[in-house]
Amino acid sequence: MNILTAENVTKAYSSHLALENVSFEIPTQSIFGLLGPNGAGKTTLIRIINQIIQADAGEIRVNNVPLRPAHIELVGYLPEERGLYKKMKVGEQLLFLAQLKGLSKSESMKRIRYWLERFEIKDWWSKKVEDLSKGMAQKIQFIGTVLHEPKIIILDEPFSGFDPVNAQLITDVIFDLREKGATILFSTHRMETVEALCDRALMINRSKKILEGSTQGIREQYRTHTFEVIHSASDLRLSPERFVLMNQKPVEGNLTRSDIRILDGSKGNALLQALIGSTEIHSFREKLPSMAEIFISLVKGESDEGLKRDLGIN
C-alpha cells in the first residue's frame, strides 16, 4: 500500500517551470529518496506536500485520499533552512514545538526527555539555541520534527553540518523510525547517501522526473556487465571480441585488480570460465553503476563539473 501518491504534479513561478507532470508512489513504511541537483524542483515538491504552496495542476493523495489540511498532523518536516528561535532555551523550544503539534505538556515533557536521552544531550535543556553549534542545533530541530510521532517524515538535506559520528546516529534513528511504522521522504543531492539509506528513489532534473524505482532495481537496470576481478596474474589473456579490459592496477599481496566488461551479453560465469587457467582468482564481483553515475548518464550533455559537484561525484 502507498502512503503517498503524486500524479502529474505541475508548478510554475512566473516564467519558471519548477515541476512538470511529476508522478510517483511512496510505499508505506519505506525510506524514499528524492534526488536531483540543486534547483531541480525537490524543495518545490516538498512544499506542495507540506501544503506551504499549492500545485498548479495534478494531485497528491495521502492514504488514497486527496491532500487536505488535516493531513498536516501526519507530517513531520525538517527543512533545509533551519528555523529555531535563537533566544529560547532548548527545553523551552522543544516544548513549544511539541505543543504546536497538539501534545499536552505532560506528554511533551515525556517525549522530550526520551529524545534528549537518546541523543545523550540531557544537559542541553537550559542551553540557549544561539549558543549551539550548527550540528547541535540540527539535532534539536530533528527532535522537534519527530516529537509528535508523524507517519510521514520529510527530511530535506538532514545530514548537512553533521560529523560522521552524528550522521551515523541520525541514520540509526531513521531506521528505527521506519521499523516503528514511519515513512521517510529523504531529499538530497548527495546520491551516495541515498544508496545506503533508501528503499526506493525518484530522480528529477530540470523540473521533470527522469527515473523512479527501487534503488537496487535502478542500478541493475543500468548495469554495464562490468566485473571487478582480483587475481594473481599481471597479464590477462582474453578474447577482445567478447571482453574488454577497462583498467588494471596492482593491489597488496602482489595481486592485480582488473575491471572487465562483457561485450556479448554473456553471464558472469562466461568470464569466470575464460579466466580459469590463466590466473588465480581471489575475488570476483559485478560492479553496478552508482546512482550518481546513472543520473549523469541520463542527463548526458548537461553533465559539467558543476553538476558532478552538486551530485557529490569526485
Say which range, 27-41, 77-91, 146-160, has the weakest mean pLDDT.
77-91
- Whether the CB-CB separation of 35 and 156 falls below 8 Å is answered with no
- Name the grid cell of 270: 562466461
Give the C-alpha distances (Å, rounded to integers) separating 249 from 1, 235, 244, 256, 314.
48, 11, 15, 6, 19
Q: Residues 308, 286, 261, CA angle at the centre, nearest 5°?
A: 80
| pLDDT, tens only, 92-116 | 999 999 999 899 999 999 999 999 9
The single residue listed with the C-alpha cell 556487465 is 225
The DSSP secondary-structure symbol of 279 reads B
Neighbour-count burial for 119-148, b at 16+ CB within 10 Å, e otherwise: bebeebeebebeebeeebbbbbbbbbbbbb
Give the C-alpha distances (Å, rounded to integers) separating 296 from 37, 192, 222.
11, 13, 12
Q: What's the pLDDT band for 302 if we cut at 50, 70, 90? A: low
Dihedral, CA of residue 223, residue 298, residue 155 and residue 32, to nearest 10: -40
Give the C-alpha distances (Å, rounded to integers) separating 229 from 82, 177, 226, 288.
46, 39, 10, 14
Mean pLDDT of 74-88: 86
Mean pLDDT of 40-60: 94
- 114 Cβ contact partners less than 8 Å away, ≥ 6 residues apart: none
CA distance 199 to 29: 10
| pLDDT, tens only, 226-253 | 999 999 977 788 888 899 988 888 888 7
- Whether the CB-CB separation of 311 and 216 falls below 8 Å is answered with no
